[in-house]
Structure 1
Amino acid sequence: MGLHKSRRRGPARLDVLRLSCTYTKHASLKRHRRTFSTPGATAIAVLDAQSDPITDCTVRPHGGPPMALPAGTGVVAYNAAISRCARAGLYARALALFREMRGRGLRADEYTLPPLLNSAALLRGPPVAVAALHALLLRAGLAHHLHVANALVDAYARLPCAGGAAAARAVFDEMPRRDVVTWTSLLTGLARAGAHAAAVRAYRGMVAAGVQTDEFAVAAVLSSCAGSTALDVGRSVHAAAVHLGLCPFRSVGNSLVSMYAKTGALHDARAVFDAMPARCTITWTALIVGYAQNGRGRRSLEVYTDMVRSGCRPDYVTFIGLLFACSHAGLVDAGRDHFRSMAVDYGIAPGPDHYACMVDLLGRAGRLDEAMDLLNRSSTELDATVWKSLLGACRVHRNAELAERAAEMVWRLDPTDAVPYVMLSNLYSRARRWGDVARIRALMKARGITKEPGCSWVGVNGVTHLFHVEDRGHPRAAEIYRKVEEMTERIRAEGYVPDTDWALQDEAPEGRERGLAYHSERLAVAFGLLAVPAAAPIRVFKNLRVCGDCHTAIKMVAKAYGRVIILRDANCFHHMKDGECSCGDYW
């Protein structure tokens, strides 16, 4: 707040970058408009500031100045030229033409701004250009044109900074009129920003407003249904798409396959895939990745074979799915073959994601030396994900020496990441190296590193029920805890023995067992047994990797109660039935 007030009192320079990146619901568009209408802080002053936010932050095409239009060229001709450049992807040239147009004293109109906003957003540079154009259109009184406001919502929604989606929402909320383009731009921006629950709410608002959905809006909200694990909403969107005749659109089909796969509904994903009249690389890849994440690695490879036979060319993401499938199915030789094939047969250079999968594949198989050799020979710039894969393998095989080397690499690349601390602590704990456990915890405290708290959730009748470890905040907490005790008694009778290596080691033995029983995923499963109809699967989602003891216990619960339990953790889906898991205990 202080910054904003000081800007009003200070020189006629506007920090539009800060405004656009910190634009939240607490700083409304009215406040933004007041800033832009401050005497001296006009849009033209912003655009003509010492560092021109429209053009100086961009790279001019081919390293040279853009071609100037003849003297005497009018606004209509400039608009046409700017629009052509934007459609051709020459975004820097479009913005440079606008600067030239302003330099000749020509005023922008409602046809000038939309392609400029699109160009400013798609350049993927600093968001200052979009904010400056926003200032200009407000000063010029063009915001009342629906297509201009739509372009502004879309431009903010495309910005990579955290405030882009919030700025899009602020503009959206100020609009007196909206159409399907407005809603779709907002949905897409929220989905891209990871605000999936907000996108689902926006979609419901769109339906309530009586706006007829199109294929772009459907694809956007399905992406958020997948991201928020909202399978019930996804099914209702699918039904609406069928009713509106939108399913033949490939973008809708692709989004449906991905949504069903990412929410664990593989049968539905396959049914949509089989019904699609035409498929592309995205379609095939969505199914390959879906099977891989749901513990059906061999099916992923079969789908890939069908893809190649169909003449469809795999891409970078396809091979991530394939290598993930090989890793989680223990198919070492197949993984090596596909890793080689992507470069030799398709000219795709392996990236950090592929190396992370290969390290995971080799590490799971206990081939840690081979994994290190692969990394040492790599010419790719490796990121923290690769070293965390190696660290995870070291934890499984209790190789503390190599784990420490991997953790050091993660700390160099991402000093704030809590994962290496947690993994090392777990490794030391299982080795009974309590001094090292204490050292890691002290190091975390000294560096201000905090572990992400684990939580699990289950959806029932459109309501999401969230649980944390030893959580007693749920209205049915007493019932849930009684059900947990009942579950524990049943599986103990079947031979379950708690693995206290997964518990906090600074507790007494009986406290460790009790702590394991009340992990968030078990509370969610207990609630599912109480609230989900017997014929339906219990779908539980967790933000972190499920602990080994809970994995064993929930498999046994599924058998003891004759239920199907689908648990999605940070790594993959676990389809549990009759005491078995789709991951083959290999996750």
Structure 2
Amino acid sequence: MSCSSSQDIVRRILRNPNTAVSTYHAKQLHAQILKTKGTVDDSVNSSILIKCYTSHGLLHHSLSFFNLMRFLSISPSRHLFPSLLKASTLLNHFPLAQSLHASIIRLGFHLDLYTANALINMYSKFHNPNDSVRKVFDAMPVRDVVSWNTVIAGRAQKGMYTEALDMVREMGNANLRPDSFTLSSVLPIFAEYVDLIKGKEIHGYAIRHGFDVDVFIGSSLIDMYAKCTQLEFSIRAFHLLPRRDAVSWNSIIAGCVQNGEFDQGLGFFREMLKENVKPMSVSFSSVIPACAHLTALNLGEQLHGYIIRLWFDDNKFIASSLVDMYAKCGNIRVARCIFDKMETRDMVSWTAIIMGCAMHGHALDAVSLFEEMLVDGVKPCYVAFMAVLTACSHAGLVDEGLKYFNSMPGDFGIAPGLEHYAAVADLLGRAGRLEEAYDFIFNMGVKPTGSVWSTLLAACRAHKNVELAEKVVDKILLLDPGNMGAYVLMSNIYSASQRWKDAAKLRIHMRKTGLRKTPACSWIEVGNKVHTFLAGDKSHPYYDKINKALNVLLEQMEREGYVLDTSEVLHDVDEEHKRDLLRTHSERLAIVFGIISTAAGTTIRVIKNIRVCVDCHTAIKFMAKVVGREIIVRDNSRFHHFKSGSCSCGDYW
């Protein structure tokens, strides 16, 4: 093969971006260099060959040929080392990168602009305590925008925000104008600092220099405004982009979801699919939590199918999101299956499954998983302790809960927070150890809030301890005079004790101060549509059918032994009125609608915004038995799985 043949092969390599074709020609060139060693073209051709190998991921081929060059006495050119440095970086081989740097210095290429830029990029990718990035940068006789951008981006990616911003100022002092890459590196800093003013200044600079239409700048602006809770500006920046890629779509989806606009986030996701933009793996990590918050199980299942088709199901971040979504949407069985199949589990996935089991009444499973996590070498975090304490609270595992709480500071170096104290107060209160719970809160290591005392007030109501409740409500109202929940709970405690005058006084005071009780409300998803019911609500278009079915079902339940417990009706009215109030509680209406609107055997899933009352809890056990279905009700503290006349909570909630 002649020298001109080598040139032909080089032209084919440079012309063809296809990996298979390029590497085929590269191997031809490799063979040609071996045959014609010592020719003038060998140094240039070797650089092209190594660049081809590196760009197509054949990293070991690049390094092997570099070693072969010494044997062939081929002198390396300055164009060679950027590719070799990239290969060492991709291989995460720091000693190799350092040896290449030594070769560069020996050959005098360290003063070459492109080689020095490659060195800066290489060192910025490695954690280097000696700050070799700055040393190489400071030694450069000439620097271009790429040099500055590489250092700035490296600083920003490592969380060195102050240093990154200082470099931007230095860049300006060096009479070099920041470009779109510079701006896309610094905008995330202002997003992290939630510095809206500085972010707007960068936006203004981008507009003045025509960078605002750049898709990378646009995505950074969308993200910055969303993290600064300026969702309106975020959406406006998105719509002003002339072209949108997967990154910009993902930025707007994540920003709607992060700001609690779950419906809007899902809407953007649907638009993205209509635009035939293929979702990134991170897109699902953003949108699945929206399904979890909306408890939109049907949509979540559709997304899960999409994830499987795209082969993203082995992504641990997506898998963790799915575990959390299925648990929050009431399907703990599928959540556990996904968790068990995960090859690598991080703290997020462990915490999601432990909390899921806790919320579904599988307390022993939650505790067992927590212990398994410790054996696996994963150190529990703040939220993981919340999960295991919640599990202990919901199952009455007082000794276990206290053991975990006491182990936090000494064994794991985690100072208990207000949520942990509230969980222990709840643990003691549910178990009837009310005075112990009072002393525990009174002697807390941090100042208790109204919400911590409220857990004990709820326990006082459950255990009908009026005297302690009065002490506790005074504590709450001293800290939070406008705590409507405390007034409602205390009013209910008085009503349950038939102290109607005291209950009336509280209600009159609430009206005078403008406090409004949150109405009991339940939701059920049927046919991809969410139906809402209030207590005694007759506005639903199917109300007549619901009422008729409810009467038939009540007769069947009474034949099975169900008796309405009117003691739970906290109003001074006659027995007949109490019966009417009970039978039309919002969760009962939602359940009956679900029964008449779905096929036999379908699981009924209902969400309620407040605690399920004792009589409804009893009634739903009978409903599940009569209709032969599983009924899952999520109230404001946990899930209840009703099946065959019993509940997963074991009547302890």
Name the structure 2 match of 1:578. Answer: 644
State the distance in 2 between where 1:541 and 1:191 align: 21
CA positional deviation for 1:454: 2.4
Name the structure 2 match of 1:447. Answer: 513
CA positional deviation for 1:121: 1.2
Name the structure 1 match of 2:199. Answer: 130
Written as runs of structure 1 = structure 2, the 5 A alignment for 1:277-426 is 277-426=343-492
Structure 1, 92-101 or 515-524: larger mean CA deviation: 92-101
Q: C-alpha offsets along residues 277-316 of structure 1, whole Å, 9 cap, x if unaligned?
A: 1111211111111100001101111112222222222111
CA positional deviation for 1:73: 7.9
CA positional deviation for 1:225: 1.0
Q: TM-score, normalised by structure 1?
A: 0.83
Name the structure 1 match of 2:290. Answer: 224
Name the structure 2 match of 1:196. Answer: 262
Name the structure 2 match of 1:468. Answer: 534
Tell me whether 1:255 sits opposite 2:321 in the alignment. yes
Residue 272 of structure 2 aligns to a residue in which SS?
Answer: helix
State the distance in 2 between where 1:148 and 1:577 align: 54
One-letter identity of the residue aligned with 1:431? S
State the distance in 2 between where 1:101 and 1:282 align: 40
Residue 419 of structure 2 aligns to a residue in which SS?
Answer: helix
Name the structure 1 match of 2:11. Answer: none
One-letter identity of the residue aligned with 2:214? H
**8 A contact 2:601–2:628 mirrored in 1:** no
Name the structure 1 match of 2:212. Answer: 143
CA positional deviation for 1:100: 6.1
Residue 585 of structure 1 aligns to a residue in which SS?
Answer: coil
Q: Higher relative CO (CA 8 A, sep ≥ 6), structure 1 or 2?
A: 1
State the distance in 1 between where 2:209 and 2:582 align: 63
Q: Of residues 526, 529, 535 in structure 1, which corresponds to 2:592?
A: 526
Gaps of 5+ in 2: 1-133
Q: C-alpha offsets along residues 395-450 of structure 1, whole Å, 9 cap, x if unaligned?
A: 11122233233333333444443211111111111011112211211222222222
CA positional deviation for 1:368: 1.3
State the distance in 1 between where 2:335 and 2:367 align: 16
One-letter identity of the residue aligned with 2:210? G
**8 A contact 1:429–1:501 mirrored in 2:** no
State the distance in 2 between where 1:175 and 1:300 align: 47
Q: C-alpha offsets along residues 306-334 of structure 1, whole Å, 9 cap, x if unaligned?
A: 22222222111111111100110011111
Q: C-alpha offsets along residues 217-253 of structure 1, whole Å, 9 cap, x if unaligned?
A: 1111111111110111111111111111111111011
**8 A contact 1:387–1:406 mirrored in 2:** yes
CA positional deviation for 1:207: 1.7
**8 A contact 1:343–1:349 mirrored in 2:** yes
**8 A contact 1:426–1:502 mirrored in 2:** no
One-letter identity of the residue aligned with 1:143? D
Residue 453 of structure 1 aligns to a residue in which SS?
Answer: coil
Q: Of residues 486, 505, 512 in structure 1, which corresponds to 2:578?
A: 512
State the distance in 2 between where 1:322 and 1:568 align: 19
Structure 1, 529-538 or 375-384: larger mean CA deviation: 375-384
Name the structure 1 match of 2:180. Answer: 110
Q: Of residues 219, 224, 227 in structure 2, which corresponds to 1:155?
A: 224
Structure 1, 76-85 or 279-288: larger mean CA deviation: 76-85
Q: C-alpha offsets along residues 146-184 of structure 1, whole Å, 9 cap, x if unaligned?
A: 00000011112223x4xx334322322332321211122
Name the structure 1 match of 2:68. Answer: none
Name the structure 2 match of 1:121. Answer: 191
State the distance in 2 between where 1:426 and 1:105 align: 72
**8 A contact 2:496–2:570 mirrored in 1:** no
One-letter identity of the residue aligned with 1:552? T
User: Aligned residues, how many?
Assistant: 516
User: 1 or 2, which has the higher helix percentage?
Assistant: 2
Change (3 A) 1:82 1:382: farther
CA positional deviation for 1:265: 0.8
Q: C-alpha offsets along residues 510-534 of structure 1, whole Å, 9 cap, x if unaligned?
A: 2222122112111100101111221
Q: C-alpha offsets along residues 239-272 of structure 1, whole Å, 9 cap, x if unaligned?
A: 1111111111110111111111111111111111
CA positional deviation for 1:544: 2.0
Residue 449 of structure 1 aligns to a residue in which SS?
Answer: coil
**8 A contact 1:92–1:123 mirrored in 2:** no
State the distance in 1 between where 2:522 and 2:201 align: 43
Q: C-alpha offsets along residues 182-220 of structure 1, whole Å, 9 cap, x if unaligned?
A: 122222222222222222222222222211112111111
Structure 1, 172-181 or 399-408: larger mean CA deviation: 399-408
State the distance in 1 between where 2:211 and 2:460 align: 60
Name the structure 1 match of 2:158. Answer: 88
**8 A contact 2:549–2:592 mirrored in 1:** yes
**8 A contact 1:295–1:328 mirrored in 2:** yes
**8 A contact 2:213–2:240 mirrored in 1:** no
One-letter identity of the residue aligned with 1:123? Y
State the distance in 2 between where 1:103 and 1:308 align: 53
CA positional deviation for 1:106: 6.0
Name the structure 1 match of 2:114. Answer: none
One-letter identity of the residue aligned with 2:224? A
Written as runs of structure 1 = structure 2, the 5 A alignment for 1:164-243 is 164-243=230-309
State the distance in 2 between where 1:371 and 1:213 align: 50
State the distance in 2 between where 1:585 and 1:249 align: 38
Q: C-alpha offsets along residues 111-145 of structure 1, whole Å, 9 cap, x if unaligned?
A: 22222221111114x53333343333233332110
State the distance in 1 between where 2:540 and 2:298 align: 22
**8 A contact 1:296–1:325 mirrored in 2:** yes
**8 A contact 1:91–1:123 mirrored in 2:** no
Q: TM-score, normalised by structure 2?
A: 0.75
CA positional deviation for 1:76: 5.0
Change (3 A) 1:357 1:103: same
State the distance in 2 between where 1:405 and 1:113 align: 58
State the distance in 2 between where 1:99 and 1:433 align: 71
Residue 345 of structure 1 aligns to a residue in which SS?
Answer: helix
* Higher gyration radius (CA): 2
Residue 599 of structure 2 aligns to a residue in which SS?
Answer: coil
Tell me whether 1:546 sits opposite 2:612 in the alignment. yes
Q: Of residues 331, 339, 346 in structure 2, which corresponds to 1:265?
A: 331
Name the structure 2 match of 1:32. Answer: none
Name the structure 1 match of 2:124. Answer: none
Structure 1, 168-177 or 532-541: larger mean CA deviation: 168-177
Question: Percent identity, aligned pairs only?
Answer: 40
State the distance in 2 between where 1:72 and 1:304 align: 56
**8 A contact 1:91–1:122 mirrored in 2:** no
Gaps of 5+ in 1: 1-66
Name the structure 1 match of 2:72. Answer: none
Residue 442 of structure 2 aligns to a residue in which SS?
Answer: helix
One-letter identity of the residue aligned with 2:307? A
